[in-house]
Amino acid sequence: MSSDASEFDPDRIESYKFPETTYTYSERDVALYALGIGACARDAVDVDQLKFVYHDKGQKFIQVLPTFAALFSLGSLPGGLGLPGLKYDPRLLLHGQQYIELYKPLPSNACLKNTVSLAGLHDKGKAAVLEIETKSYDKDSGALLCMNRTTAFLRGAGGFSKSSHPYSYSNYPKDKVPSVKTPKGQPFVVFEDCTQPSQACSIYFTIARMKVIVSYLLVLVKYFP
């Protein structure tokens, strides 16, 4: 893709209607994800971590890590970030932020309906900032479970403003959750840990099994080894 500002059309991006998507996961996916981010890596019977992997009354009773919700938004974008009017160089893409709001405890298995919208688009001169919001609903009950806001920093894609004022579009909700204030002073506890070599495999199988956009992941692997 070219990053020529003349091909970057913010009006087309802003008016684009994202299709609804579905996302299905099982207890197995939940457990694989937990193992992938290090649950029970040091102690296989650590009760505080084992609850995310195994339950003696059945896997339907395992708990779901809140960050598992970040996976729900990965399959919501057409062709990764192939939006009409969005021109950028994939090699210069950076994942700026993954913001999550949880409204209910995540079930151990579910079929979700995702509604997707543009939350923000900003011209930063030499770069563009794109914000995509994904709301995930339980398909059976209709309950809103969580919201993901994914921020992509597209280097080299800026400079598309049509006036002297930098283009900036935001569609944040009026009743948005207040930002968490970072405490001042020294931390009470410092914890250091190392990832295990097998964790990347566990995460890969979790994502690949749920048919998340493989082409998008291959781009990341190719350009960000």
pLDDT tens column, 170-222:
998 777 777 778 889 999 999 888 877 777 777 767 766 655 444 454 445 44
Considering only 44-58, 96-110, 185-199, which range has the smallest mean pLDDT? 185-199
Q: Is the pTM of this model over 0.85?
A: no
What is the pLDDT, as a whole number, of residue 1? 40
Q: Is the dihedral of CA 150, 153, 159, 163 positive or negative?
A: positive
Is 13 among the domain residues?
no
What average pLDDT score do residues 101-124 get?
96
The domain that contains 103 carries what CATH number? 3.10.129.10
Asked whether residue 206 is domain-assigned, the answer is yes
Alpha carbons 55 and 4: distance in angstroms, whole number: 54
Q: Using pLDDT thresholds of 50, 70 and 90, give the confidence band for residue 78.
A: low
Of 223 and 96, more confident:
96
> For residue 147, what pLDDT is reported?
96
Nearest Cα to 57, choosing from 25, 27, 33, 24? Answer: 27
The verdict on residue 127 lying in a domain is yes
Whether 58 maps to a domain, the answer reads yes
How far, in Å, CA of 106 to CA of 69, rounded?
8
CA dihedral 117, 123, 128, 133 (to 10 degrees): -20
Alpha-carbon torsion (206, 177, 97, 81), positive or negative: positive
pLDDT for the residue 130: 94
- The reply to whether 70 falls in a domain is yes
Higher pLDDT, residue 44 or 134: 134
Domain that holds residue 130: 23-155+165-176+200-223
What mean pLDDT is predicted for residues 63-82? Answer: 82
Least confident stretch, 52-61, 76-85, 159-168: 76-85
Given a contact cutoff of 8 angstroms between Cβ atoms, the answer to whether 1 and 156 are in contact is no
Query: In this structure, which amino acid lies at residue 74?
Result: L
Average confidence score pLDDT of the chain: 84
Rounded to whole angstroms, how far apart are CA atoms 140 and 123?
40
Q: Find which of 90-99, 109-118, 205-214 is predicted with most confidence, using mean pLDDT.
A: 109-118
- Domain assignment present for 8: no
Residue 9: inside a domain: no
Start-to-end C-alpha separation, the chain: 20
Query: Does residue 109 belong to any structural domain of this protein?
Result: yes
Q: How many domains would you assign to the chain?
A: 1
Q: How far apart are CA 13 and CA 135, in angstroms?
A: 19
